[in-house]
Amino acid sequence: MAFHRVGNYTFQWTDLHLPREKTDPLRHEYDTLGHNAVKRLQQIARQRKGEASVKPTLCPGGFDMYAVLRDYHDQDDVLNRLWNEVHTVPDWVDWAQIERGQKFFYRYAPANLMGFMLQAFVGENSSVPGVVEVLVRTGGFSTKVLLRRLLETFQHLLQVTANLESIQPGGQGHTTTVRVRLLHAAVRERILRLVKSRPDYFDVAKFGVPVNVLDSIHSICVYSCGHMWLQLPQMGVFPTEQEKTDYIALFRYVGYLLATPHEYFSSVAQAKATMESMLLHELQVTETSRIVGHNMIECIKDRAPLRVSVGFIEAGSRILNGDELCDSLGLGKPGFLAYGCWRGHCWFVQSLALVQRWVPGADEAVVRYFRNTLYETLVNSKRELRGRSEMDFRHVPQMGKRIGKEGSELPKFTGSLVDRPLEMFYLAVFGLGCVLWLGVVGAILRMHLLMLS
Ligand code: HEM
């Protein structure tokens, strides 16, 4: 069977891979239950406000959709079906496995976070035409609000991996996931409603329905499979088969809650083939991709406390996504120093993973440390999100609203490399690594010469 290369990743086509004839129609399928439920929720919200006689307003936000679903589901057939669906645990869910999968995120947290930002967000997410067309219409990718959006994404990720109770029905991760499903349905409902009055607002024939089944399958791949094959191995960290099985099982369940067909993630081999099929069929850089990629980098660069440079972001993105994709996204070509820092990052996460495998107790300590600190730093910090977000429908698509390339909202960074703590640390690791390598090579050469003399 044929070999394919996408970016720096090569794979062989198998019977498990999905041909275009199978994937393309999925662009026109979507979560109809969530869609109808959101319409009912909007109707109930209007009735509660005493606006029952008013014809549907074009602005569907401004109320807590999850609270209305929770409080009214037993009075409405559609809402009841949705409530029951998300509260029914499929028989393929094995809670012990899900719990092991949750640890994976924290076990390799520095590698996972870096991979998620640079491969999943900067590279892959920016390169899916249908997804970026939706993102530029909500306004959520404006650099003024993008940081909050990213942190909300991390909040969701941290909640679904927090502990078992959190992802079980009624837990915080479970509730947030249902909120996200309603948010997706609201965005879709809103865009489709605008399309009804102005068909050229969003090209449904070309991009499919907004937040469609194919894009959702792709997103679950980005969330779970990316770490296993596109990110960690490129940093020198190789997840075990058990880790792959467990983490993919966790996201198979998260996908199920988000109305994403779960059979594409029923085994590690199937999930890998699904991810590779998406890479082959779905990545296509457009002008809108360049806007999304640009704003993403503007949002994350130079931000305190780590103050990561554009060069470092570009070096990491190029290693993870390949030069071709990064060139077409318009990323610059960084110098040797940036690649040195990136290599330092790889050696650091690689050494940490080795210590975790060899030293008893180290793994538990690392998992505990990141579990305790990440939520505090990313969600509870007074600086950005300032506490848990309820994933409200805040960025409502409007006719004529579409974000373009924007500059950073931060003042221009005027410091030097010394003012960039993460890169300074990675540079030190790189320097140390080089000295160690030279020492080893020197010792081998000396032994060789001794043997010859
Ligand atoms: C199936 C896997 C997916 C997961 C786990 C996921 C996760 C999330 C999360 C956590 C949020 C709320 C936080 C935020 O605003 O970033 C969100 C919002 C959103 N997602 Fe997704 N998502 C998925 C698929 C998709 C797809 C396929 C699209 C297609 C375009 C999409 C488009 C959006 C949009 C437009 C919002 C609202 C953001 C805004 O206000 O601008 N998501 N998603």
pLDDT digits (tens, 9 = 90+) for 361-385: 999 999 999 999 999 888 887 777 7
Work out the pLDDT band at 52, boundaries 50, 70, 90: low
- Token duo for residue 133: 């067309």
**At CA 173, angle to CA 170 and CA 175, rounded to 5?**
45
Q: Which residue has the higher pLDDT, 59 or 28?
A: 28
Report pLDDT for 100.
98
Write the CA distances from 236 to 239, 268, 286, integer angstroms: 10, 20, 31
Determine contact, residues 197/58, Cβ cutoff 8 Å.
no
Q: Quote the ligand 1 centre to 181 CA distance (angstroms).
A: 8
Write the CA distances from 385 to 23, 38, 162, 370, integer angstroms: 37, 26, 18, 18
- Letter string b/e over residues 390-409, b meaning 16 or more CB atoms within 10 A of that residue's CB: ebbbbbbbeeeeebeebebe
- Token duo for residue 111: 């590698």
Residue 315 has pLDDT above 90, yes or no: yes
Report pLDDT for 390.
82
Q: Quote the ligand 1 centre to 93 CA distance (angstroms).
A: 24
Residue 51 has pLDDT above 70, yes or no: no
Alpha-carbon distance 72 to 87, whole Å?
15
- Token duo for residue 94: 């094995």
Label residue 393 left, alpha or beta by phi (over 0 means left) and psi (-120 to 50 means alpha): beta
Give the mean model confidence (pLDDT) for residues 10-14: 97
Please report which residue ranges of 198-322 form alpha helices under DSSP H: 204-207, 213-220, 226, 241-257, 268-282, 287-300, 310-321
Work out the pLDDT band at 58, boundaries 50, 70, 90: very low
pLDDT tens, residue by residue, 212-223: 999 999 999 999
Is there an atom of ligand 1 within 6 Å of 250 CB?
A: no
3-state secondary structure of 16: coil
The amino acid that residue 318 corresponds to is R
Is there an atom of ligand 1 within 6 Å of 260 CB?
A: yes
pLDDT tens, residue by residue, 386-440: 788 888 888 888 888 888 998 988 888 888 899 999 999 999 999 999 999 999 9
Helix, strand, coil percentages (3-state) for the chain, rounded to 5, are 70, 0, 30
Determine contact, residues 120/350, Cβ cutoff 8 Å.
no
Of 159, 167, 180, the residue with max ligand 1 atoms within 8 A of its CB, to mutate for a pocket test, comes to 180
Q: Which residue has the higher pLDDT, 198 or 46?
A: 198
Report pLDDT for 60.
56
Is there an atom of ligand 1 within 6 Å of 219 CB?
A: yes
pLDDT tens, residue by residue, 205-245: 999 999 999 999 999 999 999 999 999 999 999 999 999 99
Q: Quote the ligand 1 centre to 149 CA distance (angstroms).
A: 9
Report pLDDT for 61.
60
From the alpha carbon of 389, which atom of ligand 1 is closest?
Answer: 13
**At CA 47, angle to CA 45 and CA 51, rounded to 5?**
105
Q: 341: exposed, middle or buried (C-beta count within 10 Å: 0-12, 13-18, 19+)?
A: buried
Alpha-carbon distance 24 to 32, whole Å?
18
Candidates 225, 246, 222; CA nearest to 104 is: 246
Determine contact, residues 247/220, Cβ cutoff 8 Å.
no
Which uninterrupted H or E stretch holds 10?
Answer: strand 9-12
Give the mean model confidence (pLDDT) for residues 75-88: 98
The values of phi and psi at residue 4, to 5°, are: -130, 150
**At CA 418, angle to CA 416 and CA 420, rounded to 5?**
85
Please report which residue ranges of 4-61 form alpha helices under DSSP H: 20-23, 32-48
Q: Quote the ligand 1 centre to 22 CA distance (angstroms).
A: 24
Q: In this structure, what DSSP letter does residue 392 have?
A: -
Preceding peptide of 305 cis, ω within 30° = yes
Report pLDDT for 343.
98
Whose tokens are 């719990």? That residue is 99
Q: Quote the ligand 1 centre to 30 CA distance (angstroms).
A: 14
Nearest alpha carbon, ligand 1 atom 1? 216
Q: 204: exposed, middle or buried (C-beta count within 10 Å: 0-12, 13-18, 19+)?
A: middle
From the alpha carbon of 131, which atom of ligand 1 is closest?
Answer: 30
Taking every pair of Cα atoms in the chain, the longest distance, rounded to a whole number of angstroms, is 99
Q: 36: exposed, middle or buried (C-beta count within 10 Å: 0-12, 13-18, 19+)?
A: middle
Other C-beta atoms within 10 Å of 92: how many?
13
Write the CA distances from 407 to 315, 334, 369, integer angstroms: 20, 19, 35
Report pLDDT for 19.
97
Determine contact, residues 403/136, Cβ cutoff 8 Å.
yes
Which uninterrupted H or E stretch holds 12?
Answer: strand 9-12
Q: Quote the ligand 1 centre to 408 CA distance (angstroms).
A: 22
Is there an atom of ligand 1 within 6 Å of 183 CB?
A: yes
Is there an atom of ligand 1 within 6 Å of 187 CB?
A: yes
